[in-house]
Amino acid sequence: MGDEALWNRFAPKSVLKACSIIKDLNLGKQIHALVINTGFESDLFVANTLVVMYAKCGELLDSRRLFDGIPDRNVVSWNALFSSYVQNECCEEAVSLFGEMVLSGIKPNEFSLSSILNACTGARDYGQGRRVHGYLLRLGYDSDPFSANALVDMYAKLGDLESAIAVFEKIADHDIVSWNAIIAGCVLHEYYDLALDLFVDMKGSGLMPNMFTLSSALKACAGLGVKGLGRQIHSSLIKMSIESDIFVSVGLIDMYSKCSHMDDARLVFDSILKPDTIAWNAVISGYSQNNDDKEALSLFSKMHKEEPGFNQTTLSTILKSIACLQINDMGRQVHALVVKSGFECDKYVVNSLIDSYGKCKYVEDATRIFNDCLNGDVVSYTSLITAYVQGGQSEEALKLFSKMLAVGLKLDQFACSSLVNACASISAYEQGKQIHVHILKLGFTFDIFAGNALVNMYAKCGSIEDANRAFSKMPEKGIVSWSAMIGGLAQHGYGKEALHLFNEMLKDGVSPNHITLVSVLCACNHAGMVTEAKQYFESMDDLFGIKPVEEHYACMIDILGRAGRLDEAVELINKMPFEANAAVWGALLGASRVHKNLELGRRAAEMLFTLEPEKSGTHVLLSNMYAAVGKWEKVAEVRRLMRSGKVKKEPGMSWVEVKNEVHTFVVGDKNHSRAEEIYAKLDELKDLLDKAGYVPMVEIDLHDVDESEKQKLLFQHSEKLAVAFGLIATPAGAPIRVKKNLRVCVDCHTVFKYICKIVSREIIVRDINRFHHFRDGLCSCGDYW
């Protein structure tokens, strides 16, 4: 063959390769026309090159059409097609084509196998990847460096890090691709320590890291919060003159952000000449993660003006910051931007909107967005459940939980904690136990957040025994765990046990916080231990370095007031290093009512009218104090004050749970579906109570009506209705658990002591102050509440 013939055969192939590299489709088509005119289209080498050229120029259909027209395809033809499909991210099709090739009898070579391994990685086809590994072993290509590197990458990216390491260790001479694949794999699966160890080994082998190695090492430093090594890598990037690469810059911003060095992160960001959306997202997320939400919002405003474009990551991050700052006006503006930019159907943005509206206490908006969402996921359900709980709509939260299970979604630990808190807030003991079962099934038993929530829930649902069991099973107990259990014991009137547990906590090396000490003082309060309370209060600063705040003073004033030491309580208020808040004056008002000190009560009420003019409790207590001494003109004056200030009295309400449903009652309630049975039960109980010696305490009913009407009103208190319903709706012998939003009255307290003995049932009442366990004619509070 002459020189001209040789040129005519190889020149088209060379020019087509050049067209592939520079993606010049027009020139490629011209060369294709020349190939046809000169009769070289049937040449196998030229045909294979045409297949590659069209694929690399994005014309996969033409590439496949040409491939299908090759009469005698060889392994090179198939390789050309595989690599083309992989490069165009059509990995599943490439894997399918490999199967066709094997069935056609063409034996794959090392290039086929390395290409298909990349396709398996892209298609996340682990099974086919393992089969290709088998081909490599059988055909003796396992030592081929391209195939070995592709295997390491495939195993690492598809979650089998153990196999990736095994293949990596068998490679005789690791090149930069091998190291990058295994280090990136470790980072991907959050084995940051191992990634950095391998990074050090690589440098020790004498091989210089490149940009991809250093980027992976930066991610590992970010994951571990290792700022020192991160700075060294930053220096290496500067020496390599690639620190200005946008991909590298984003890695640096992320590393400094996660190491809580936002000043350094900001310097890197400010050095970028024209930051793209990813860079903006990195720095905004950094500020958000470091709780500088105001700066995150400020940067977003600047980003929006400079118009680099934003995405769902930007919007989700900004909505999180808005939720933390509870700036709902800005939340609505971002919501409008979400709709305008077409992200209202993006699940991440939708979930962030639900969370943001919920945390800003706009539960109706959160609910509307949730209902408009076609396919809610675990995150959207959890966000709305949390919003309901925080918004005081725990019953709605539990209904949503039932709906969540009905659509086949599994709880995550955040949903579990929110639902447990929902049960705690309305004393839904049975539903709380069911959620506990879900926690056990899902393996969250030893999660400290779920554990703390369970301790709190069982304590607030009236079962201190279950709370103690949940507490005992926690392998790690933080200060929140100890505080929850101490507080639970205190609320149930187990003052000595609470103080014993507090001492156990100190022996365990856990230092108390101000909440723990509030629980300790509450324990003393509910048990009437005035001397012990004074000792703890006066030694807080010396023993634990905690200066008393308003909550501690309020507890101490309540303790002194309940014990009748009103002068000491007033003296303590006068000595406070700050102005007394509503909790302090509220404690004094309550004590004044108990001990009928009208003048002191009036003074406390006047302070509360200034501090909390919208709260009805102050007006009611003062009115009751006047009514108790027959000063009806003063009662009328307080009621006029309420009307003029548009203050509405909070109605007394009680809740009781039966068969996973919470039933609500108010005084004189006739709306319940079983109202007739409830009142019949009350009449039956009244006869039994009269025979047992019960005398209605009509003096505590402060309505200006005759005695018979007072007796009738007393016997229709919400907690009595709840107990009567519990007696007719629950099995004999089962405890009855009632929650009340106000303090249980003296008459109801007396009635329950009689009823628990008459019907041989335990009655557990949780009022606004504490728990009352009625058993065998006695109450756990010892009539001190």
**What average pLDDT does range 307-330 have in this prediction?**
89
Report the alpha-carbon distance of residue 465 to residue 510 in Å, rounded. Answer: 23
- Give mean pLDDT, residues 549-554: 92
3-state SS, 449-503, equals HHHHHHHHHHHHCCCHHHHHHHHHCCCCCCHHHHHHHHHHHHHCCCHHHHHHHHH
Backbone angles phi, psi at 546, to 5 degrees: -115, 115
Beta strand spans in 584-672 (E): 653-658, 661-666
Model confidence at 614: pLDDT above 60: yes
Residue 681 resides in a domain: yes
Q: Write down the pLDDT at residue 5.
A: 47
Predicted confidence (pLDDT) per residue in 534-546, tens digit: 999 999 999 999 9
Query: Higher confidence at residue 659 or residue 284?
Result: 284
Q: What are φ and ψ of residue 56, in 5° steps? A: -70, -20
Cα gap 564→412, rounded to integer Å: 49
Q: How far apart are CA 280 and CA 263, in angstroms?
A: 15
- Residue 56 pLDDT grade (very low, low, confident, very high; cuts 50, 70, 90): confident
Domain membership flag for residue 754: yes
Q: Per the domain annotation, does 488 fall within a domain?
A: no
Least confident of 139-148, 209-218, 388-397, 629-638: 629-638
Over residues 3-24, mean pLDDT: 64
Specify the pairing of strand 763-766 against strand 778-779: unpaired
Kindly tell me if the per-residue pLDDT of 9 is higher than 60: no
Q: What is the mean pLDDT of residues 520-535?
A: 91
Q: What is the mean pLDDT of residues 510-529?
A: 91
Do 54 and 66 meet the contact criterion of CB atoms below 8 Å apart? yes
Provide the residue range defining the domain that includes 761: 667-779
- Nearest to 656, CA basis, from 455, 481, 427, 322: 427
305-311-312 Cα angle (round to 5):
130
Beta-bridged to residue 737, according to DSSP, are 764
Distance CA 583, CA 397 (A): 29
* 713-728 pLDDT per residue, tens: 788 999 999 999 999 9
In b/e form, how buried is each residue of 440-454, taking b as 16+ CB within 10 angstroms?
eebebbebeebbbbb
Q: Do residues 769 and 525 make contact, with C-beta atoms less than 8 angstroms apart?
A: no
Residue 136 within any structural domain of the chain: no
Taking the alpha carbons of 340, 343, 345, 348 in that order, is the dihedral positive or negative? negative
For residue 11, what pLDDT is reported?
Answer: 66
Tokens of 360: 């800003």
Q: DSSP readout, 197-246?
A: HHHHHHHHTTPPP-HHHHHHHHHHHHHHT-HHHHHHHHHHHHHTT-TTSH
- The mean of the pLDDT values for the chain is 87
* CA dihedral of residues 620, 625, 629, 633 (deg, nearest 10): -50
Indicate whether 60 pLDDT > 80.
no
- Please report, as a single letter, which amino acid is at residue 487: G
Quick one: pLDDT at residue 701?
57
- Return the half-sphere exposure (C-beta side, CA atoms, 13 A cut-off) of residue 244: 5
pTM: 0.69
Question: Does residue 303 or residue 240 have the better pLDDT?
Answer: 303
Confidence of residue 493 (pLDDT cuts 50, 70, 90): confident
The pLDDT value recorded for residue 527 is: 83
| Strand-pair category, 763-766 with 736-740 | parallel
**Which helix or strand (DSSP H or E) is residue 6 part of?**
helix 3-22
Q: How far apart are CA 23 and CA 659, in angstroms?
A: 70
Amino acid of residue 195: A
Any domain includes 464: no
pLDDT in tens, 112-171: 888 889 899 989 999 999 998 988 888 888 778 888 999 999 999 998 999 999 999 999
Non-local CB neighbours of 438 within 8 Å, separated by 6+ positions: 411, 416
Classify residue 775 by its DSSP letter: E
CB < 8 Å & 24+ apart, contacts of 166-171: 170/142, 171/145
Do 653 and 627 form a contact (C-beta atoms < 8 A)? no
Q: DSSP readout, 495-564?
A: HHHHHHHHHHHHHTTPPP-HHHHHHHHHHHHHTT-HHHHHHHHHHHHHHHS----HHHHHHHHHHHHHTT
CA atoms of 258 and 265, how far apart (whole Å): 10
Mean pLDDT for 40-49 is: 73
678 belongs to a structural domain: yes
Residue 708 lies inside a defined structural domain of this protein? yes
For range 45-63, the mean pLDDT = 78
How big is the chain by its Cα radius of gyration, in Å?
Answer: 37
Q: Which two tokens mark 197? A: 């160890």
H/E stretch holding 738: strand 736-740
Over residues 411-462, the pLDDT tens digits come to 888 888 889 989 998 888 989 998 998 888 887 755 677 788 899 999 999 8
- Strand bridging mode 778-779 / 771-775: antiparallel
Q: Are 616 and 649 in contact (CB under 8 A)?
A: yes
With contact defined as beta carbons under 8 Å apart, do 263 and 287 qualify? no
Is the separation of the CB atoms in 491 and 781 below 8 Å? no
Measure the N-to-C terminal CA separation of the chain; round to a whole number of Å. 112
Q: Determine the Cα–Cα distance for residues 402 and 363; give it in Å rounded to an integer.
A: 19
On the question of pLDDT at 251 being above 50, the answer is yes
561 found inside a domain: no
Q: What is the pLDDT of residues 662-692, one digit of tens each?
A: 899 998 889 999 999 999 999 999 999 999 9
Res. 105 pLDDT band, cuts 50 70 90 = confident
Neighbours of 591 (CB within 10 A): 24
- The number of folded domains in the chain is 1
pLDDT band at 610 (very low <50, low <70, confident <90, very high): confident
pLDDT above 70 covers a percentage of the chain that reads: 95
Q: Are 130 and 99 within 8 A, CB to CB? A: no
Nearest to 570 by CA among 555, 585, 582: 585
Distance CA 594, CA 577 (A): 27
Is the confidence at residue 6, as pLDDT, over 50? Answer: no
Distant-in-sequence, close-in-space partners of 323: CB < 8 Å, separation ≥ 6? 331, 352, 355, 356, 358, 359, 360
Residue 420 three-state SS: helix
**Distance of alpha carbon 2 from alpha carbon 275, whole angstroms:** 57
pLDDT, position 1: 41
Give me the phi and psi of 720, to 5 degrees please. Answer: -70, -40
Comparing C-alpha atoms, which of 717, 751, 739, 700 is closest to residue 593? 700
Flag whether pLDDT at 766 surpasses 80.
yes
pLDDT digits (tens, 9 = 90+) for 268-284: 999 888 899 999 999 99
Q: Which amino acid is at 338?
A: V
